[in-house]
């Protein structure tokens, strides 16, 4: 029964690492952060940097920690395996490997009875054309690995365009999915502790612009109890099958026939940033609680919320901070077009009161995507 420091190692030094460290420190966690990008922005914890990716400081980093987690899933698997053989790594290598490869991911969804868009794999332009014909166009072709935020993808409307799409994507293995006319995009974050305890945040509704998340509404308006229960069941199957420890994000398409799983991320997720101000315990704190072997906190929504991403945008901080129920989270990053530099959470007593508050926030931001119609 002691509250001695828990030394958490973090792979990656961006905003997600920063927010996890900011919320883990009051729990008595100490953070060592391992960066290979050469451009760490976390600005918190003890930094170990190997910009040449030569692992020169890896041993020193590992010696300074009890447990290791990460902020991004594009982590070389050999590095993750190496670390897992020396220190507990959460989420585990199997979870990481599954999320890195869309074929493994969709196969697992199917094995666990989680509905997905219909899909095929293609390893050549000819196989891509065959997949278009088998599934019926339109389809979405995606590189099996290394894609994110809609990169490495093409919508194919005619099988005759398969050759051009193959060349454009320029990858040797593609997943080809039926194009889903979804009603909206939802996501769900859940956490599993090292004791196997599970907790789900409510389903949220996400709005993207140019492939990047711009707005999240929490909770997603008008979700039926049956849809919420189905989503909770899907993510529980994944967490238990993977013997997962930490926060997992599951992106879903809502259709008139129910939910379809798109992809998952083995980490805290941009669509969960609202939890900092609208939930009893944030996703960042709960992820750290899980990886540090602590009990989970409540995932209950405390206030309806909207998360507004700052993408390459300036904010009038003085004016913004005069607005009620408005919370600024800047990432210590310089502004460049398309770069996530911060987010703003807005909360309200009820969901319909959120939208006017968001308009007031947007008047303080230099550049923002169109706010969605309700
Ligand atoms: P992803 O990288 O898989 O998250 O895809 C990026 C975005 O492309 C998603 O957020 C959707 O808006 C869209 N998308 C992906 N897959 C499909 C699909 N099978 N049908 C329709 N739209 C899709």
Q: pLDDT tens digits for 167-204? A: 999 999 999 999 999 999 999 999 999 999 999 999 99
DSSP label at 122? E
Class (C level, CATH) for 118-178: alpha beta
CA–CA gap between residue 288 and residue 85 (Å, rounded)? 21
Is 263 touching ligand 1 by the criterion CB < 6 Å? yes
* High-pLDDT (> 90) share of the chain, %: 96
CA–CA gap between residue 215 and residue 150 (Å, rounded)? 16
Instruction: Report which of 118, 115, 105 is spatially closest to residue 234, judged by C-alpha positions.
Output: 115
Q: What local confidence, expressed as pLDDT, does residue 374 receive?
A: 75
Is 210 touching ligand 1 by the criterion CB < 6 Å? no
Average pLDDT over residues 223-230: 97
Work out which ligand 1 atom sits closest to the CA atom of 251.
4
Q: What local confidence, expressed as pLDDT, does residue 4 receive?
A: 92
Instruction: Return the best residue to mutate from 139, 154, 262, 372 for the ligand 1 pocket (most ligand atoms within 8 A of CB).
Output: 262
CA–CA gap between residue 293 and residue 181 (Å, rounded)? 41
Residue 143 has pLDDT above 90, yes or no: yes
Is 177 touching ligand 1 by the criterion CB < 6 Å? yes
Which residue, judged by its Cα, is nearest atom 7 of ligand 1? 150
Residue 305 has pLDDT above 80, yes or no: yes
Q: Which one is predicted more confidently, 152 or 317?
A: 317
Q: What local confidence, expressed as pLDDT, does residue 14 receive?
A: 97
Order of strands across the sheet that contains 119-122: 119-122, 174-178, 139-143, 153-156
Is 208 touching ligand 1 by the criterion CB < 6 Å? yes
In the structure, what pLDDT confidence band is assigned to residue 1 with cuts at 50, 70 and 90? Answer: low
How open is the CA angle 115-233-84, to the nearest 5 degrees?
A: 90
How open is the CA angle 175-220-244, to the nearest 5 degrees?
A: 55
3-state SS, residue 20: helix
Is 179 touching ligand 1 by the criterion CB < 6 Å? yes
Cβ-based neighbour number of residue 317 at 10 Å:
10
Is 152 touching ligand 1 by the criterion CB < 6 Å? no
Is 262 touching ligand 1 by the criterion CB < 6 Å? yes
Residue 331 has pLDDT above 90, yes or no: yes
Is 246 touching ligand 1 by the criterion CB < 6 Å? no
3-state SS, residue 23: helix
134's tokens: 């088998």
CATH of the domain spanning 6-89, picked from 3.40.50.20, 3.40.50.12780, 3.40.50.1980, 3.30.428.10:
3.40.50.20
CB 290 within 8 A of CB 90: yes
Q: What is the mean pLDDT of the chain?
A: 96
> If you count them, how many residues does the chain have?
374
Q: What local confidence, expressed as pLDDT, does residue 300 receive?
A: 98
CB 203 within 8 A of CB 329: no
Domain ranges of the chain: 6-89, 118-178, 184-362
Residue with tokens 């451009």: 39
Which residue, judged by its Cα, is nearest atom 18 of ligand 1? 179
Residue 150 CA, ligand 1 centroid: distance in Å: 7
In the structure, what pLDDT confidence band is assigned to residue 280 with cuts at 50, 70 and 90? Answer: very high
Is 180 touching ligand 1 by the criterion CB < 6 Å? yes
CA–CA gap between residue 268 and residue 115 (Å, rounded)? 23
Work out which ligand 1 atom sits closest to the CA atom of 102.
3
CB 91 within 8 A of CB 246: yes
Is 175 touching ligand 1 by the criterion CB < 6 Å? no
Rounded alpha-carbon distances, angstroms, from residue 353 to 301, 325, 347: 16, 11, 9
Rounded alpha-carbon distances, angstroms, from residue 78 to 11, 49, 99, 189: 14, 18, 15, 27
- Domains 118-178 and 184-362 belong to one CATH topology: no
Is 266 touching ligand 1 by the criterion CB < 6 Å? no
Domain at 184-362: CATH architecture: 2-Layer Sandwich (3.30)
């Amino acid at each position: 029964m002691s509250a001695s420091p828990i030394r958490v190692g973090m792979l990656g030094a961006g905003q997600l690492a920063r927010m996890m460290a900011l919320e883990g420190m009051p729990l008595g966690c100490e953070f060592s952060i391992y960066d290979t990008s050469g451009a760490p922005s976390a600005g918190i914890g003890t930094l170990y940097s190997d910009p040449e990716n030569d692992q020169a400081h890896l041993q020193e980093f590992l010696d300074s920690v009890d447990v290791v987690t990460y902020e991004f899933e594009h982590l070389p698997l050999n590095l993750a395996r190496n670390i897992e053989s020396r220190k507990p790594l959460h989420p585990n290598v199997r979870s990481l490997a599954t999320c890195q490869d869309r074929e493994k991911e969709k196969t697992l969804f199917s094995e666990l009875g989680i509905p997905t868009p219909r899909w095929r794999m293609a390893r050549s332009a000819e196989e891509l054309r065959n997949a278009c014909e088998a599934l019926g166009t339109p389809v979405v072709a995606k590189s099996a690995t290394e894609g994110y935020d809609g990169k490495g993808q093409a919508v194919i409307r005619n099988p005759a365009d398969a050759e051009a799409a193959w060349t454009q994507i320029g990858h040797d293995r593609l997943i080809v999915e039926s194009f889903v006319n979804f009603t909206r995009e939802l996501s769900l974050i859940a956490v599993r502790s090292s004791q196997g305890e599970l907790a789900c945040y409510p389903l949220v509704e996400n709005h993207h612009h140019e492939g990047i998340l711009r707005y999240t509404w929490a909770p997603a308006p008008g979700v039926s109890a049956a849809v919420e229960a189905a989503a909770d069941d899907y993510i529980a199957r994944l967490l238990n099958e993977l013997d997962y420890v930490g926060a997992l994000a599951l992106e879903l398409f809502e259709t008139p026939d129910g939910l379809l799983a798109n992809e998952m991320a083995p980490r805290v997720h941009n669509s969960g940033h609202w939890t900092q101000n609208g939930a009893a315990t944030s996703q960042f704190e709960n992820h750290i609680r899980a990886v540090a072997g602590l009990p989970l906190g409540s995932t209950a929504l405390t206030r309806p919320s909207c998360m507004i991403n700052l993408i390459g945008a300036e904010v009038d901080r003085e004016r913004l901070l005069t607005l009620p129920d408005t919370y600024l989270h800047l990432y210590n990053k310089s502004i460049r077009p398309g770069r996530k530099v911060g987010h703003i959470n807005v909360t309200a007593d009820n969901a319909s009161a959120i939208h006017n508050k968001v308009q007031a926030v947007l008047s303080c931001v230099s550049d923002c995507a169109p706010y969605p119609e309700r």
